[in-house]
Structure 1
Amino acid sequence: MSEKLSENGSGADALALDLTRVTGRFARVAGRVAGGGFSLIAWRVLAELEQAGPMRVSALAHQQHVAQPSMTGLVQRLEGEGWVSRAPDPADGRATLVSVTPAGVEALEEYRAAAAARVRPHLDALSDFDRATLARAAELMQQIGDGIDARPG
């Protein structure tokens, strides 16, 4: 079922709500890749480690809004796949940092490719103008995301 965009789509507040809702739904729907065997949180963790670099389990748990024991279990599962590794935190010898491995990056790229394959037929059905509009929208969403990342809040 298609979600209705805000009646007053011209206001910044309505647009922010619409973008948050539709991009979240798009990511969930496109990310339902058959045979993946891993949760969307697992893929988000790998993506975050790829982009931000090594992190503590507690920081990953906080970021993903899951309990630390749940994140510890996920990290152990990802480590068992060879997708992440743990090393002592140089700032605190009692803690460890989790890093994505080359195999984890490869798995993430395969997941993204499978998700993109689900999207591609729908892009092919659009006009050149609509595809160009989406390409520009993707650039703008990247810019907005970078701005949000630069000012966490």
Structure 2
Amino acid sequence: MVVAVIEKNGKNASGLDALALELTRTSGRFARIAGRTAGVGYSLVAWRVLADLEQTGSARVSELAQQQRVAQPSMTGLVQRLEHEGWVDRSPDPDDGRASRVAITEAGRAALDEYRRIAADRVRPHLGELSDFDRATLARAVELMQQLSERIGDPRA
């Protein structure tokens, strides 16, 4: 287990490296598995785009493509599909008349909430199989992951 390689003071660099690697690998795998059936008809990239727009506000298509590490034409096609669903709107970019900004709509928020609910429904029965201690540990891990996400996502960090 990864935690076993970390010294009690948490300063073992190789232990921190292993923990960072395992956290990244496991959280990514968990998100893919939990969301696998939830987003029928749309890729995880589509749901991540909606989540990013919900979290950070509007963005240019080029910014979305860069964030998701996809080609701009692919992101343009995805944004068009999301716009057709009524999940995003485009508006002129006030800083550049040639560009537009994409923002999530209320319908997009509702679709994202439903996606998350279905994913949570898939996870819930497995949480019930855990002990109270393990569920409390996971609840604390969620808090820590939220804190880490805020630090990592902060451009000043």
**Is residue 115 from structure 1 mapped to residue 119 from structure 2 by the alignment?**
yes
Q: In the superposition, relative to structure 1, how do residues 6 and 129 fare at CA in structure 2: closer, same or farther (>3 Å)? A: closer
Distance 2:81 2:58 in 1: 17
> What SS does structure 2 have at the residue aligned with 1:36?
coil
> What SS does structure 2 have at the residue aligned with 1:98?
strand
Distance 1:94 1:34 in 2: 36
Distance 1:108 1:35 in 2: 9
Q: Which runs of 4+ in 1 moved over 2 A?
A: 5-9
**Is residue 106 from structure 1 mapped to residue 115 from structure 2 by the alignment?**
no
Match of residue 43 from structure 1? 47
Match of residue 79 from structure 1? 83
Between the aligned residues of both structures, percent identity stands at 67
Look up the equivalent residue of 2:22 and give its one-letter code.
D
Question: Could you tell me how far 1:151 is from its partner in structure 2?
Answer: 3.4
**Is residue 139 from structure 1 mapped to residue 139 from structure 2 by the alignment?**
no
Q: CA RMSD in A?
A: 1.6
Aligned residue among 66, 69, 75 for 1:65: 69
Distance 2:147 2:102 in 1: 27
Q: In the superposition, relative to structure 1, how do residues 149 and 35 fare at CA in structure 2: closer, same or farther (>3 Å)? A: closer
**Is residue 90 from structure 1 mapped to residue 94 from structure 2 by the alignment?**
yes
Structure 2 unaligned regions, length at least 5: 7-14
> What SS does structure 2 have at the residue aligned with 1:93?
strand
Structure 1 unaligned regions, length at least 5: none
